[in-house]
């Protein structure tokens, strides 16, 4: 079965810290996504990548960046964490032209104090 | 861009009754409509999807209907069971060939099954 692993389930950081959220997929697949989930706001796309070294902005990229140095790893970076970035972050894999299904990781609940 | 509205935000039904969740979309070019289910503390998972060339699709107790003219689609769950309790997200995509970056999600419906 497809596996998408996120490095941390819960994370607590301080305002101004640089935060790295890691996502690793065990399939040799190109498409990877970072979503943010907030109550009452649904799932919102932050960044996505369709290949190594490739990255594109989603709907809410402000305050975030990403890194895709290897095909299996897609990292979300908060350069200077702020309290309004407290949220559940979900990594996803899939969503291709031939199979639109997205496979989500278990999520990282980030709290910025 | 696409805008997806989902209603209701919370739905409580008696076990065994039916539940209906409705979504509307704004982009007439949208042609792919998936539904994801997220149980408490778990990841979202695809439960059913429909394309614009089909009006209805069924999978056991769940079904999705699509009205392209009115630009709305609905999830129907019959004979609800406790394990149906979850948050359900609808989504719409204008081009299934362009990757999931075009997928826009609704805000979610919390379905509660009362025993």
Q: What is the pLDDT of residues B17-68, one digit of tens each?
A: 999 999 999 999 899 999 999 999 999 999 999 988 889 999 999 999 999 9
pLDDT at position B15 over 80: yes
From CA A98, how far away is CA B10, in angstroms rounded? Answer: 33
pLDDT for res A84: 97
Q: Which of B34, B93, B100 sits opposite A33 (nearest CB)?
A: B100
**Nearest CA-CA partner of B110 in A105, A40, A91:** A40
Tell me which chain B residues have a C-beta less than 8 angstroms from the C-beta of A41.
Answer: 107
More confident residue, A30 or A74: A74
Question: CB-based contact (8 Å) between A102 and chain B?
Answer: yes
Q: Is the model's pLDDT at B99 over the cut of 70?
A: no
Closest A-chain CA to B88: A42
Selecting from B6, B98, B101 the residue whose C-beta is nearest the C-beta of A45 gives B101
Percentage of the residues of chain B whose pLDDT score is greater than 90: 82
Count how many pairs of residues, chain A against chain B, have C-beta atoms within 8 Å.
64
Q: What pLDDT, on the 0 to 100 scale, is given for residue B69?
A: 93
Q: Tally Cβ neighbours within 10 Å of residue B93.
A: 27
Query: CA neighbours within 13 Å on the CB side: how many for A22?
Result: 8
pLDDT at B96 over 70: no
- Give pLDDT, residue A12: 97
Least confident of A2-6, A36-40, A54-58: A2-6
Whole-number Å distance between alpha carbons of B96 and B113: 33
Q: Worst-scoring range by mean pLDDT, B44-48, B91-95, B98-102?
A: B98-102
The pLDDT value recorded for residue A30 is 84
CA distance B108 to B115: 22
Under 8 Å CB-to-CB from A1, ≥6 apart: which residues?
Answer: none
Contact, A30 vs A71, CB < 8 A? yes
Shortest alpha-carbon distance between residue A17 and chain B (Å): 27
């Amino acid at each position: 079965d497809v596996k998408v692993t996120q490095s941390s389930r819960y994370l607590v950081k301080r305002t101004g810290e640089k935060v790295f959220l890691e996502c690793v997929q065990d399939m040799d697949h190109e498409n990877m996504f970072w979503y943010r989930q907030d109550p009452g706001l649904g799932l919102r796309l932050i960044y996505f990548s369709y290949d190594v070294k490739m990255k594109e902005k989603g709907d809410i990229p402000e305050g975030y960046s990403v890194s895709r140095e290897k095909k299996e790893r897609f990292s979300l970076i908060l350069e200077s964490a702020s309290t309004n970035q407290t949220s559940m972050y979900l990594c996803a894999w899939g969503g291709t032209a031939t199979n639109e299904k997205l496979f989500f990781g278990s999520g990282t609940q980030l709290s910025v104090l | 861009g696409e805008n997806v509205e989902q209603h209701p935000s919370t739905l409580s039904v008696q076990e065994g009754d039916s539940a209906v969740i409705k979504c509307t979309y704004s982009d007439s070019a949208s042609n792919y409509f998936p539904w994801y289910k997220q149980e408490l503390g778990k990841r979202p998972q695809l439960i059913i999807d429909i394309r614009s060339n089909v009006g209805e699709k069924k999978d056991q107790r769940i079904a999705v209907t699509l009205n392209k003219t009115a630009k709305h689609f609905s999830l129907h769950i019959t004979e609800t069971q406790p394990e149906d309790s979850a948050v359900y997200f609808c989504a719409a995509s204008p081009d299934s060939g362009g990757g999931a970056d075009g997928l826009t999600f609704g805000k979610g419906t919390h379905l509660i099954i009362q025993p």
